[in-house]
Amino acid sequence: MGFRVTTLNLEQDHKRWDDRRELIVGQLGELKPDIFCINEICIPRQTGRYLQHAAKERHGLEYNLVQQSKIGGLSVVDGEGILTRFPVRETANFDYRARESVAQVARVEIEGHLVDVYVTHLYGSVGRDSFRLYQVEQLLDWIGSRDDVEAKVICGDFNATLDMAS
């Protein structure tokens, strides 16, 4: 069972989105990921749907899109998403109950095997790591509670470097 996963923080529609989106679609065509995990989908501009449709139109890549808005005031602004070429059997989300952050999972079927694909965006802190570490503990507990699959893939913007505890 082999598959290719890519992940990217879209940074909503900031930083010259109209130019960047063309580069992203080009990379989708070059890399041809089976699963593309996305942070900061811009809800008002439907950037996840744009990438889904552009990948099909330009490269013949058909993706299923699942996305989860953040909670609270950010629910109308951005969210997390997964584009997958595999059949989606189930989706779920997790509310960290702080900082309007969420995690999302899509259970996909790959060659008869069930795989959970997670995407999240953890708190960005330039200071102490304790809040993000708490989010990691919550995420791992949730992932551990979903133990009826053969494999799990965790993607996202973790806002941490390799030397950090989180």
For the segment 116-138, what is each residue's pLDDT rounded down to a tens digit?
999 999 988 776 788 889 999 99
Amino acid at 157: D
- Read off the pLDDT of each residue in 37-58 and give the average, rounded to a whole number: 97
What's the number of CA atoms in the CB half-sphere (13 Å) around residue 150?
9
Residue 86 belongs to some domain of the structure: yes
Which range marks the domain in which residue 20 is found?
A: 5-157
Number of domains comprising the chain: 1
Q: What is the pLDDT of residues 6-44, one digit of tens each?
A: 999 999 888 899 999 999 999 999 999 999 999 999 999
> Considering the entire predicted model, what is its pTM?
0.93
- Read off the pLDDT of each residue in 67-72 and give the average, rounded to a whole number: 90
Residue 105 belongs to some domain of the structure: yes
Residue 97 belongs to some domain of the structure: yes
- Read off the pLDDT of each residue in 41-48 and give the average, rounded to a whole number: 95
Maximal CA-CA distance, the chain:
45
CATH number of the domain at 121, please. 3.60.10.10
